[in-house]
Amino acid sequence: MLGESIKGKSVVVTGASKGIGKGIARVFARHGAKVLVVGRDLKTAEASAAELVKAGGTASALAADIADWNAMQAMAKAAVDRHGGLDVLCANAGVFPQTKIEDMPPDQWDDVLRVNLKGTFLSVKACLPHLKRSSQGRVVITSSITGPVTGFPGWTHYGASKAGQLGFMRTACIELAKYGITVNAVLPGNIVTEGLAGLGKEYQDSMAASVPLRRLGDVEDIGHAALFLASKEAAYITGQTIIVDGGQILPESLDALAQA
Ligand code: NAP
């Protein structure tokens, strides 16, 4: 059964205290993984890990900034110390302040690239010595449709960081192939997280209207794609992307949707 190979594996999910990462962590925990829930705020991360434990899973929390090299080394060590190894890294944490070029302070550009892009590199680098020892070493990056495929006003820095993650992935997968480690990415469309849910049903409905499947994504839709890429069955897939967007990027125009 798909996902069976995840049972007992040690999985690190960055940004698992909220949103998509929380959904990824939930899917892995449900399939029997030992999950390290990582976020900057310890209380939120602990609450997220506690939910997984309450549902019968194995999980613990760690406060760590993915843009901090020492913190990433401590994160990898925590996974090994607490869960007996490190098999899967879901490099998911990211930030997305929305600011148009004309208004963007140059420092904000650096911050977004530092967290989203350098943070991906640092988390992979820190986990690598342990992933090498796994018989099922996997890196699953949460990128986005924004940047690699589409654009959205206010997200030049974000889009550059998300496209940059794919550039990183395409060389990382070649470098790590000799260890049997695969590196792939999930590209979410519009996913309902706590932040988006707070904007209300009307707003969500208006966004869903531009999606062929007529709904926004659920955090577990991303979790299931990540689970597949981390599974034994995906052993021969590396350097690839899966778009999980309900078909959002496909209509040529609003009219193309209206005529369907
Ligand atoms: P979210 O709800 O804001 O959650 C972000 C998570 O990342 C939180 O757990 C946050 O916890 C953590 N985080 C942020 N900066 C961090 C840092 N420097 N170090 C460690 N943890 C950090 O965001 P989301 O919408 O779930 O997005 C998650 C990922 O999906 C991002 O990479 C984003 O680009 C991507 N994505 C999201 C969507 C969407 O529709 N939601 C679409 C496409 C792609 P703390 O604040 O406690 O650190």
User: 94-143, pLDDT tens digit by residue?
Assistant: 999 999 999 999 999 999 999 999 999 999 999 999 999 999 999 999 99
Taking only the tens place, the pLDDT of each residue in 3-59 is 999 999 999 999 999 999 999 999 999 999 999 999 999 999 999 999 999 999 999
Q: How far is the CA of 20 from the centre of ligand 1 (A)?
A: 7
Q: How far is the CA of 178 from the centre of ligand 1 (A)?
A: 30
In a domain, 135, yes or no: yes
Distance CA 26, CA 152 (A): 29
Contact yes or no for 116/162 (Cβ under 8 A):
yes
**Ligand 1 atom nearest residue 22's Cα:** 9
In a domain, 228, yes or no: yes
3-class DSSP state for residue 244? strand
In a domain, 206, yes or no: no
Q: How far is the CA of 14 from the centre of ligand 1 (A)?
A: 8
Catalytic machinery residues: 158
pLDDT at 203: 86
Distance CA 76, CA 88 (A): 11
pLDDT at 66: 98
In a domain, 119, yes or no: yes
Contact yes or no for 148/187 (Cβ under 8 A):
yes
Q: How far is the CA of 128 from the centre of ligand 1 (A)?
A: 22
Contact yes or no for 243/235 (Cβ under 8 A):
no
Token readout for 96 is: 């997305």
Q: How many domains does the chain have?
A: 1
pLDDT at 217: 97
Contact yes or no for 59/53 (Cβ under 8 A):
yes
CATH number for the domain that contains residue 70: 3.40.50.720
Q: Which of 42, 70, 96 for mutating ligand 1's site (highest number of atoms within 8 Å of CB)?
A: 96
**Ligand 1 atom nearest residue 162's Cα:** 34
CB atoms within 10 A of CB 12: 34
Q: Which residues of 59-82 are buried (b: 16+ CB within 10 A; e: fewer)?
A: bbbbbbbbbbeebbbbbbebbbee
Q: Which of 37, 40, 89, 169 for mutating ligand 1's site (highest number of atoms within 8 Å of CB)?
A: 40
Contact yes or no for 142/188 (Cβ under 8 A):
yes
Handedness of CA 104, 110, 111, 114 (dihedral sign): positive
In a domain, 64, yes or no: yes
Q: How far is the CA of 134 from the centre of ligand 1 (A)?
A: 27
| Cα 159 versus chain centre, distance | 15
Pocket (CB within 6 angstroms of ligand 1): 14-15, 17-21, 38-41, 44, 65-67, 92-96, 115, 119, 142, 144, 188, 190-191, 193, 195
Contact yes or no for 91/120 (Cβ under 8 A):
yes
Domain hosting residue 76, numbered range: 4-199+217-251
CA-based nearest residue to 199, from 176, 216, 213, 177: 216
| Cα 127 versus chain centre, distance | 15
Taking only the tens place, the pLDDT of each residue in 197-207 is 888 888 899 89
In a domain, 237, yes or no: yes
Q: What is the pLDDT of the chain when averaged over all its residues?
A: 97
Distance CA 203, CA 113 (A): 29
